[in-house]
Amino acid sequence: MRKVKLLSAAILASAFTASAMAGGIPTMASGWSIKNQGPYLGVGAGINSARFRVQDAGDRVDFGDFGFNGTGFVGWNVLFHNHVNLAAEVTGDINNINADLRDSDEDDSIRIRLKSGWGAAFLPGYEVNNGTVLFGRVGWFRSKFEWEDKGGSDAAKHSTNLNALELGMGMQTDMSALIVDGLKFRLDYKYKHYSNKRFTGVSDLKERQNSNQANFSVIYQFDLV
């Protein structure tokens, strides 16, 4: 056992010496030193889809719609020398989702609109090469919905705000060397799962948004390092 310990110590000492001769003594602080950091802002657009579930007197119907959305965001990004990228951002969205449900037996229809919203998210990522970062997204989002019951004696219009868990992933590429210093392009996917909402006297609404939107965004990074 003593020989094994001595051999292990010798191997560690050799590796440490070789590392020091090659380029200095490695430290955790040097691995986590900041490569660049700073605020950023961006705008983008994408394709959006939403699914709605309406429950009324035990009946359940699923329906949805596709549309376009615009997005704007501001955030703060830190990229470390060990390729770890951390960012936090606040986002605002505008949507044009208009999903219609028509009763085949009666002259009645329901329309749900997904309007504007805003939220905040944390984006951990990893720089796979010089300037390209793969990242995930986890955050909170709050959207405005309008519910319109057309026709019949129960015709009414409601609006509400629903909270959502937001998850996603994406890729971001630095275009500074090719176009303008600080310019970045981003492609990302977002999924939002909304809380249930009951409209008094109307029905239960459970809304799920699958943001299968190939969101393309243009970002400008203010580098402070």
* Predicted confidence (pLDDT) per residue in 116-131, tens digit: 999 999 999 999 998 8
Does residue 117 share a domain with residue 16? Answer: no
Does residue 80 share a domain with residue 64? Answer: yes
Classify residue 175 by burial, with Cβ atoms within 10 Å: 0-12, 13-18, 19+. middle
Does residue 113 share a domain with residue 83? Answer: yes
Report the chain's mean pLDDT, rounded to a whole number: 79
Q: How does DSSP classify residue 20? A: H
Q: How many helices (H) and strands (E) does the chain have?
A: 2, 11
Write the CATH number for 43: 2.40.160.20
pLDDT of residue 8: 46
Does residue 62 share a domain with residue 78? Answer: yes
pTM comes to: 0.77
Report the domain count for the chain: 2
CB atoms inside a 10 Å sphere around CB 76: 15
**pLDDT digits 0-9 by tens, 61-70:** 778 888 999 9
Q: Which residue has the tokens 């449900």?
A: 101
Reference 211, options 95, 96, 31, 47; nearest CA is: 47
CA distances from 75 to 88, 124, 197, 219 (A): 5, 13, 31, 10
Distance in angstroms (rounded) separating the CA atoms of residues 152 and 161: 26
Does residue 14 share a domain with residue 96? Answer: no
Structural domain boundaries enclosing 6: 1-31
**pLDDT digits 0-9 by tens, 82-92:** 899 999 999 99
One-letter amino acid for residue 208 of the chain: R
